[in-house]
Structure 1
Amino acid sequence: MVDGIIIVPTYNEIENIEKLIREIFSQPREFHILVVDDNSPDGTASRVRTLQAEFPEKLFIEERTGKTGLGTAYIHGFKWALAHSYDFIFEMDADFSHNPEDLVRLYNTCRREGADLAIGSRYVTGVNVINWPMNRVLLSWLASKYVRFITGMDIHDTTAGFVCYRREVLERIDLKKIQFVGYAFQIEMKFKTYLLNYNLKEVPVIFTDRTRGTSKMSGSIIYEAVFGVIKMKVKSLFNRIKL
């Protein structure tokens, strides 16, 4: 039985989605894929539905009516994956910034090495980022340093979005209480995993910026992360953070 599923949120990823699906299915370990599409006007969902005929019972899609944020897309996917009894649940971008060849390494870090959350880390062995301008690399690196300092988590890449969870972690976290929907969503999920005393382990990966499609990053997303972290930490000090 296949015990791992890759959740891929999409919005206007028609240029990437078919190639990504084929590369995931070509890996030496078999995974299933759940695409969570936010009503992409470019036909992303239609392309996935076409591919389902080629990959029956291993490629799934959930279509939402609007674009309501990365965090809500992942939570939708988490609930679906838990309901379908997967033991290892991944987050992965659709734009090839995350290399499908690293999926098995993340899986083995949880399955064989006992991690509860395996993090594909850009910064655990230096700065492993390709095609980003220096100002963006510096912003991301400093953001992770800032989050590490504020929260106390011993993680170098606190904002990473390429991860693998054991199902029991997602069962313990009250997904209805997740507050953030953008950049800070990744931080909040790691922080709550950390507060529940689970084992978080970083796996070094090389992050490559998208070459096709459009980035979804915005100033409001970064603002949410900077001030959201302080709010989370203060609540945790007074045992007011809802896990």
Structure 2
Amino acid sequence: MNDGGQRRYGPLGKALVIIPTYNEAENIGPIVSRVRAAVPEADILIADDNSPDGTGKLADELAAEDGQVQVLHRKGKEGLGAAYLAGFQWGLEHGYGVLVEMDADGSHQPEELPRLLTGLKSADLVLGSRWMPGGRIVNWPKNREFLSRGASTYSRLLLGVPIRDVTGGFRAFRAETLEGLGLAAVSSQGYCFQIDLARRAIEAGFTVVEVPITFVEREVGDSKMSKDIVVEALWKVTAWGVESRANRLLGRKPS
């Protein structure tokens, strides 16, 4: 993994925790409270995809009560990747130095946020990892674990990225890292979105580190994982792998 050599890193700046939501009415209040307790200095951006269950309205109520909570209302359900890209753009436009990806359902433990932010003091991107020593999962069925481990292994080998948990979505970026990833060209979703950003960071020469996290299966609401997301990831990772090998053979820079 790229360790950045003797590079000196500047101050992190203010952090923005981006929480995409779609039908998370039962989860949004508790997760915001936990984030505020874990990192009281950070702001929160709830990016809601016009949830039919009223999540957006609840988010507005939270924002009215707390000046460190903001809400980005989107037209409809366009997927995780699009929600994060909109959140990144909002955060960069508002001058945040750190932007964090985090699920609304409690699977990412807000209490572990300080660990990610500490890691970012000497890195460009920090990934919360389930599959490194110290990382673990709670209450996942074996088939889901097999799928996640398999996707990370396949991506790591095919793309040549030295990351154990390529598909994980609990991440902290420096603002300048996101600005250097070519986000305008990113159109992938789900598993694939996370793989795409990780491989772009590695190819751009950024320092990427992993820290162990405990991933807990959601207790309330429905998972957004679908067959289409898995198929997209398999197809795109394969295409990226073929392209990467062709670029190396021909001496071309990654696109």
- What's the counterpart of residue 110 of structure 1? 120
Residue 132 in structure 1 maps to residue 143 in structure 2: no
Q: Measured at CA, do residues 191 and 106 of structure 1 come closer, stay the same or move farther in structure 2, by a change above 3 Å? A: same
Paired with 2:217 and 2:19, the residues of 1 have a C-alpha distance of 16
Q: Secondary structure at the match of 1:164?
A: strand
- What's the counterpart of residue 104 of structure 2? 94
Q: 2:32 aligns with which of 12, 15, 21?
A: 21
- What's the counterpart of residue 32 of structure 1? 43
Residue 142 in structure 1 maps to residue 150 in structure 2: yes
Q: Measured at CA, do residues 53 and 179 of structure 1 come closer, stay the same or move farther in structure 2, by a change above 3 Å? A: closer
For 1:49-105, what per-residue CA distance to the aligned partner results, in whole angstroms no more than 9, with x for missing partners?
A: 11112211x110111111111101000000000011111100000000000011111
Q: 1:213 aligns with which of 198, 217, 221?
A: 221
Paired with 1:127 and 1:53, the residues of 2 have a C-alpha distance of 36
% identity of equivalent residues: 41
Q: After TM superposition, what 4+ stretches of structure 1 lie above 2 angstroms from structure 2?
A: 233-242
Amino acid at match of 2:169: G
For 1:138-194, what per-residue CA distance to the aligned partner results, in whole angstroms no more than 9, with x for missing partners?
A: 111111111110111111100000000011111112211013123200000000000
CA contact (8 A) 2:44 2:70 kept: yes
Paired with 1:66 and 1:13, the residues of 2 have a C-alpha distance of 14
Paired with 1:226 and 1:6, the residues of 2 have a C-alpha distance of 29
Residue 47 in structure 1 maps to residue 55 in structure 2: no
* C-alpha displacement of 1:107: 0.5
TM-score (norm 2): 0.90
CA contact (8 A) 1:29 1:104 kept: no
Paired with 2:13 and 2:33, the residues of 1 have a C-alpha distance of 17
Q: 2:244 aligns with which of 226, 236, 241?
A: 236
Q: Secondary structure at the match of 2:230?
A: helix
> How large is the Cα RMSD of the aligned pairs?
1.5
Amino acid at match of 1:19: P
Paired with 1:13 and 1:29, the residues of 2 have a C-alpha distance of 22
The equivalences for 1:53-202 within 5 A come to 53-56=64-67, 58-111=68-121, 114-125=122-133, 128-202=136-210
Paired with 1:186 and 1:142, the residues of 2 have a C-alpha distance of 15
CA contact (8 A) 1:2 1:31 kept: no
Paired with 2:211 and 2:190, the residues of 1 have a C-alpha distance of 23
Paired with 1:199 and 1:67, the residues of 2 have a C-alpha distance of 33
Paired with 2:196 and 2:39, the residues of 1 have a C-alpha distance of 32
Q: Secondary structure at the match of 1:61?
A: strand
Q: Which ranges of structure 2 fall in alignment gaps of 5 or more residues?
A: 1-11
CA contact (8 A) 2:135 2:213 kept: no
CA contact (8 A) 2:101 2:172 kept: yes
Paired with 1:79 and 1:236, the residues of 2 have a C-alpha distance of 27
For 1:217-237, what per-residue CA distance to the aligned partner results, in whole angstroms no more than 9, with x for missing partners?
A: 001101111111111122233
Q: Which ranges of structure 1 fall in alignment gaps of 5 or more residues?
A: none
Paired with 1:195 and 1:42, the residues of 2 have a C-alpha distance of 40
TM-score (norm 1): 0.94
Amino acid at match of 1:6: V
Amino acid at match of 1:66: G
